[in-house]
A and B are shown apart, each in its own frame.
Chain A
Amino acid sequence: MNLKTKSFLELKEALDQGEISSESLTLNFLDQIRKWNPKLNAFIHLNEKALEEAQEADRLLKEKGHQDQKPLLGLPLAFKDMFCTKNLKTTAASKMLKEFVPPYSATLVERLLKRGAINIGKTNQDEFAMGSGNQNSYWGECRNPWNLDCISGGSSGGSAVAVAAGMVPLSFGTDTGGSVRLPASFCGVVGVKPTYGRISRYGMIAYASSLDQAGVFTRRVKDAAFVLEFVCGEDGKDSTCSPKKVPKWTECLDRSLQGLRLGKPKECFEKELDVEIREALEESFQMAKEAGAEVIDVSLPYLDLAIATYYLIATSEASSNLARYDGVRYGYRAPVNELEDLMDFFSCNRGEGFGLEVKQRILIGTYVLSTGYYDQYYKKACQIRRLLYEGYLEVFKKCDVLLTPVTSQAAPSIHISKPHSLSTYLKDYFTLPINLVGLPAMSLPLKLNSKTLPLGVQIIAPHFEEQKMFNVAQALEDRLLFKEFPHVFH
């Protein structure tokens, strides 16, 4: 059995049936990491106890009867380095936290490990999740397994690559403006960001608190729906985590889209799109129609303002969230002998500890929130956020789900991608508005383009209606079944 190509649920079945052991599974993935990580740089720290934990899982699997309490028993997975993992380095890919070892785990991590999952390690990302190419990492760039000269996408590049390259069958990332959906699309895997508030953000290093949400990368839609049932749900440690009941999404995956109204936002399709992406999107609309859906043209009039709105709000929230990194109780402290005063102490630590993109965003955010500019920029952006929000609610009266591109092009070459430029910010057009409004959205791989790079489609549902999104994704996956594997598998 080529374990690298199996989905999370296929591996679960094999483990539960005794066809494979967690130890052999873990060894298989560690071997793939050993072979390919030097080129891909998807993992930045490995859990040295992973094999030991897998052996313990095997002991429990042999005993039988544990799977009810531990439905993820023996299954390996990985976490973006934004998630605190107790006693395992968590750096947010920043020099600021390069030695940080959290004394606690994020709620998301705890919920998975409690159910028997094995943490293989921490994956690469853009520093503090700021970026969309995984080119802003203290630990170096992450590469695309489909073409090593191309970017993986970001900021959760490492997590996307880890699944795409068969290093783990499932991984977690964070999505603030598209950081799960975009690398999923570039790497040819499923990437799901649930509704804002579904998953507790406790222990997830904060970038922009009203935009951040955890997300998952998998090979199949059903894997994502399955694992999210365990991590979503109220958490007393995060007051922005919704108490809404978490449905059993996997039990209601309806293959028919009969009666479903699929919205096609005109603003998205008026944008300049790569020809092959446009074709792939049209094919997916056609496929959805064949499955019984009705395609409806809709409009989101304020969409062109989403990028400006997003960056004004995200940078403001980031400037506040990253104020805690001062080199006093943890984090980087500059080796400086002569200090003017306390402010000098903070400024040196932060000046040396943060990378350029992070500094840029903190400075923008600081300016936006400063006296004289708050109303003109921050308050204004929040008002436009309200207009966007209302716009989506209006559109969801006319349709059940929206289908849009994830990006306007496939993964670009690492040599032409400019991570710090405004033009890079503009590429997040399709994914950013979703975080402003807090909607659930996912990226589904459609096909490879003429350069054997993956193309994906974005599926967006109303708040807390992930079932609709999963249903559309499942129906498309059934018809398309993206069965391609990059050369790193062979």
Chain B
Amino acid sequence: MKERVKQIEIDVKKITSLARIKITEEEEKTLKKRIEKFFEYVEKISEIETKNIEPLFNPLSRETLFHSDDVEDSFSASSALKNAPDVLDHFFKTPSIIKGASSGSKKESKPLKKSMEDEE
């Protein structure tokens, strides 16, 4: 029996923009083929009647849990910063990104008042 396969066209570039993932041209070619093949395969789900079927998002049904808002020990600022790619004092440092300008600009923003003490 010949399987009827719907031809699917996917705008991979648009999805990479939504997903915030840059891909190379070669990756785009490869991924477009694979992703389209995937969506051709999953098209079979459209044939199943699911009117009035309640979607299942999680197999364990629990009500939203609440807990009391108590102060507990947490990470120190320095341990929270340990994995940061770049640090300045108690701040996570990122490139200065201003649309149209190069990231080499030394525009310094006014430092915020320090609100956390280092516990170590």
On A, residues with C-beta under 8 Å from B are 99-101, 103-104, 196-197, 210, 236, 239-240, 242, 302, 305, 307-309, 311-312, 319, 323, 326-333, 337-348, 350-352, 354, 356, 359-360, 362-364, 366-367, 370, 376-377, 379-387, 389, 420-422, 425, 436-438, 463
Could you tell me the distance in whole angstroms from the C-beta of B44 to the nearest C-beta in chain A?
6
- Are the C-beta atoms of B35 and A341 separated by less than 8 Å? no
A196 to B42, CA, bound (A): 25
B59 engages A436 (CB within 8 Å): yes
The answer to whether B55 and A210 have CB atoms under 8 Å apart is no
| CB pair A341 B99 closer than 8 Å | yes
Given A305-B48, A367-B35, A382-B56, 4 more pairs with CB closer than 8 A: A103-B82, A367-B15, A383-B50, A385-B55
Q: Determine if B64 is an interface residue (Cβ-Cβ < 8 Å).
A: yes
Identify A351's interface contact among B23, B60, B79, CB under 8 A. B23
Q: Please name all residues of chain B whose beta carbon is closer than 8 Å to the beta carbon of A311 when the two chains form the complex.
A: 38, 42
Q: How far is the CA of A307 from the CA of B86 in the complex (A)?
A: 42
Q: Are A360 and B35 in contact (CB under 8 A)?
A: yes
Establish whether residues A384 and B50, one from each chain, have CB atoms under 8 Å apart when the complex forms.
yes
Q: Which residues of B contact A (CB under 8 A)?
A: 10, 12, 15-23, 27, 30-31, 34-35, 37-39, 41-42, 44-46, 48, 50, 53-60, 62, 64-65, 67, 75, 79-80, 82-86, 92, 94-95, 97, 99, 102-104
Give me 10 A-to-B residue pairs in the complex whose CB atoms sit less than 8 angstroms apart, sorted by A's number: A239-B62, A312-B42, A329-B84, A340-B99, A342-B97, A356-B27, A367-B15, A386-B56, A421-B34, A425-B38
Q: B23 contacts A366, CB within 8 Å?
A: no
Chain A nearest CB from B119 CB (Å) reads 12
Total A-B Cβ pairs within 8 A: 168
Top 6 nearest A-B pairs (CB, nearest first) are A438-B59, A351-B22, A382-B55, A330-B83, A333-B85, A383-B50
| Docked-complex contact A348 and B22, CB < 8 angstroms | yes
Q: Kindly identify which residue among B15, B18, B85, B102 contacts A338, using a CB–CB cutoff of 8 Å.
A: B102
CB-contact partner of B16 in A327, A332, A347, under 8 A: A347
Q: Which residues of chain A come closer than 8 Å to B80, judged between CB atoms?
A: 103, 329
Q: Is the CB of A346 within 8 A of B41?
A: no
Q: In whole Å, how far is A118's beta carbon from the nearest beta carbon of chain B?
A: 24
Which of the listed residues A240, A352, A364 has the most CB atoms from chain B within 10 Å of its own CB?
Answer: A364
Q: Within the complex, what minimum Cβ distance (angstroms) separates A163 from chain B?
A: 28
| A363–B15 touching, CB < 8 Å | yes
Q: Would A308 and B42 count as touching, CB distance under 8 A?
A: yes
Please report the C-alpha to C-alpha distance between residue A462 and residue B65 in the assembled complex, in whole angstroms. 25
Q: Are A327 and B85 CB-contacts (below 8 A) given A345-B95, A370-B15?
A: yes
A308 touches B45 (CB 8 A): yes
Give the complex CA separation of A432 and B47 in angstroms: 21
Do A339 and B97 contact each other (CB < 8 Å), given the known contacts A196-B60, A360-B35, A367-B35?
yes
Q: Give Cα distance in the complex from A344 to B75, angstroms.
A: 31
The 8 Å CB contact of A366, one of B15, B60, B62, B103, is B15
Please tell me which one of the listed residues A103, A196, A210, A386 contacts residue B79 in the complex, with CB atoms under 8 A apart.
A103
A residues less than 8 Å from B83 (CB atoms): 99-101, 103, 329-331
B50/A363 in contact, CB under 8 A: no
Contact A359 B31 (CB under 8 A): yes
CB neighbours (8 Å) of A421 from chain B are 34
* Interfacial chain A residues near B19, Cβ < 8 Å: 319, 350, 362-363, 366
Q: Given the complex of chains A and B, what is the CA–CA distance between A392 and B57 in angstroms? A: 16
Contacts of A370 in B (CB 8 A): 15, 18
In the bound complex, do residue B20 and residue A438 qualify as a contact, i.e. CB atoms below 8 Å apart? no
Shortest distance from the beta carbon of B104 to any chain A beta carbon, whole Å:
7
Which residue of chain A has its CB nearest to the CB of B86?
A333
Chain B min CB distance to A410 (Å): 25
| A242-B60, A385-B55, A436-B59 given; A422·B16 CB < 8 A | no
B94 CB contacts on chain A under 8 angstroms: 328, 345
Q: How far is the CA of A382 from the CA of B45 in the complex (A)?
A: 11
User: In the complex the two chains form, is A359's CB within 8 Å of B55's CB?
Assistant: no
Known contacts A236-B67, A333-B85; A363 and B35 CB within 8 A of each other: yes
B11 shortest CB reach to chain A, Å? 9
Instruction: Please state if B21 and A420 are interface contacts (CB–CB under 8 Å).
Output: no
Nearest-CB distance from B27 to chain A (Å)?
Answer: 7
Contacts of A379 in B (CB 8 A): 55
Q: Which residues of chain A come closer than 8 Å to B18, judged between CB atoms?
A: 366, 370
Cα separation A173 to B29 with both chains bound (whole Å):
34
CB-CB under 8 A for A386 and B55, given A308-B44, A341-B99 = yes
Q: A50 CB to closest chain B CB, in angstroms? A: 22
> Which single member of B20, B38, B84 contacts A330 (CB below 8 Å)?
B84
B62-A240 in contact (CB<8A): yes
- Given the known interface contacts A308-B42, A339-B97, A421-B34, the answer about A196 and B48 at a Cβ–Cβ threshold of 8 Å is no
Contact call B55/A383, Cβ cutoff below 8 A: yes
Residues on the B chain within 8 Å of A377, using CB: 42, 45
Distance in Å: Cβ of B55 to nearest Cβ of chain A: 3
- Residue numbers in B under 8 Å from A307 (CB-CB): 41
Residues in A neighbouring B82, C-beta threshold 8 A: 101, 103
A347–B102 contact, CB under 8 A?
no
Q: Are B46 and A385 in contact (CB under 8 A)?
A: no
A350 (CB) vs chain B CBs: closest residue? B21
Residue of B nearest to A347 (CB): B22
